[in-house]
Copies of this chain bind each other. A is one copy, B any other.
Amino acid sequence: MSRLVRCGLVQCRVPLQADQAAPRQIKKKMIEKQVSFVEKAGRSGVQILCLQELFWGPYFCAEQSTKWYDLAEPIPGPTVKLMARYARKYKMVIVVPLHETPLPGVYYNTAAVLDDRGKLLGLYRKTHLPHCLPGFWEKFYFKPGNTGYKVFETRYAKIGVYLCYDRHFPEGARALGLNGAEIVFNPSATVAGLAEHLWKLEQPAHAVANQYFVGCVNRVGIERPWKIGNFFGTSYFADTRGKVISTASRDKDELLTADLDLDQILETRKTWQFFRDRRPETYTELTEMLP
């Protein structure tokens, strides 16, 4: 008997642009819009749902302005409590990526993981922060994450979260594998261009190295008034052999679902005995402050 789990990813364009509305208005409208997708997922029998990175806003790290600090919430806060109601209603695990403030003036780029009864299972705080041109200025907004690479034991699967830029670092992806992840969600904010081919290279490579499933969410559309590029959607799932099995559109709001057979994990590991053959005693450079 296979262990099928129906998973969902939501890619969702901001309904109001930052040059036409205040941050709080955008947040309110965006949450309303996302809730409609959460409801849709629940009605579609999704058992584990993942929203996009910093799900209630535009990707405001395209500029550096303290006004965006004001949207952050503690966890649990009003938005996590709202999502917990839907988790309970639909017996659906929900990964909620959001802007967290655990202490006044301290901010993280975080994902809250709610179980199928709406209970907060824990947090993953983004470990690796970008700060690049032309405007992925996360080191201005967030403190580097301090949670390590936690795996959350949900009713349906053991899941991990690895947020956007984290994916450039095979180390955390491996730690999630060692910690028992069966599915790793990677909510992202990635634009078209020179590095677009990485989108279906890095996370499938993590899936292969660790023989787990990955579910990758990207944003959709151009977010005004910033000029960092076009978020090209294309959210997808890849299987334990790194094959992309389901892909969303480049430009549409969308709930992408896939039924993942968790038995494929052990089946793949019977063929690829990579965990048997690791040589941890030779990896000392990786934990040193080099170069």
Interface size on A, residues (CB 8 A): 54
| Cβ B285 vs Cβ A289 within 8 A | no
- Kindly report which residue of chain B lies nearest to residue A198, judged by CB atoms: B208
Say how many copies of this protein the assembly contains.
Answer: 2
Q: A132-B271, A201-B201 are in contact. Are A281 and B285 (CB under 8 A)?
A: no
Question: How far apart are the CA atoms of A201 and B214 in the complex, in Å?
Answer: 15
Contact among B194, B209, B272, B283 with A175 in the assembled complex (CB-CB below 8 Å): B283
- Inter-subunit contact B286/A178 (CB<8 Å): yes
Q: Which of A186-243 contact B (CB under 8 A)?
A: 194-195, 197-198, 201-202, 204-205, 208-209, 241-243
Q: Are A148 and B180 in contact (CB under 8 A)?
A: no
| A19 interface residue (CB < 8 Å to B) | no
Q: Is the CB of A291 within 8 A of B149?
A: no
CB contact under 8 A between A168 and B132, given known A208-B202, A283-B286: no
Q: A168-B209, A205-B202, A208-B202 are in contact. Are A286 and B285 (CB under 8 A)?
A: no
Would you list the 4 A-B pairs with minimal beta carbon distance, nearest first? A205-B205, A170-B170, A175-B285, A171-B283
